[in-house]
């Protein structure tokens, strides 16, 4: 599959966000960038806390920023880290609440190469809990 035209920009924005990570405990900076359907980008980084359960992942930071801005129509997310990790289970569920078919891409913080993608969030989280009205 050819890489979409927005991918390099999305990865670069995620790398820029990772530079702002607060990761004094793990020294593992992660950045995320969400591409909205109108081609704007919203970013986030991980924010650690001495009480590890209060740590916020980059993906949820970006998603929360988008939601606060009133943007809930997401096309893709790029996540960069030192090792090319995938979203944790909590992030997968959080993202699926708003964009179950989100296109997910992975890259490295310090390199300009792609790790993998795209993969659908629905593929990453089969059987996701769905909001019931």
Q: Are 104 and 87 a contacting pair, CB within 8 Å?
A: yes
| Paired tokens of 46 | 């991980």
Q: How far, CA to CA in Å, does 12 sit from each of 27, 51, 123? A: 20, 30, 25
Nearest to 94 by CA among 113, 72, 114: 72
Give the integer Cα–Cα distance in Å for 74 and 77.
8
Catalytic residue among 12, 13, 48, 59: 59
| Paired tokens of 52 | 């590890």
- E strand residue ranges, 1-133: 31-36, 41-45, 74-81, 103-108, 114-120
111: annotated active-site residue: no
Task: List residues with catalytic annotation.
Answer: 59
């Amino acid at each position: 599959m050819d890489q979409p035209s927005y991918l390099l920009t999305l990865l670069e924005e995620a790398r820029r966000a990772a530079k702002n990570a607060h990761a004094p405990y793990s020294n593992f900076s992660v950045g995320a960038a969400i591409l909205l359907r109108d081609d704007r980008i919203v970013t986030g980084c991980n924010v650690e806390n001495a009480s590890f359960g209060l740590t916020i992942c980059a993906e949820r930071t970006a998603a929360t920023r988008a939601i606060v801005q009133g943007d809930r129509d997401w096309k893709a997310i790029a996540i960069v880290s030192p090792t090319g990790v995938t979203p944790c289970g909590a992030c997968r569920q959080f993202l699926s609440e708003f964009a179950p078919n989100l296109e997910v891409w992975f890259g490295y913080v310090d390199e300009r190469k792609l790790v993998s993608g795209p993969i659908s969030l629905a593929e990453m989280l089969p059987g996701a809990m769905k909001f019931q009205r």
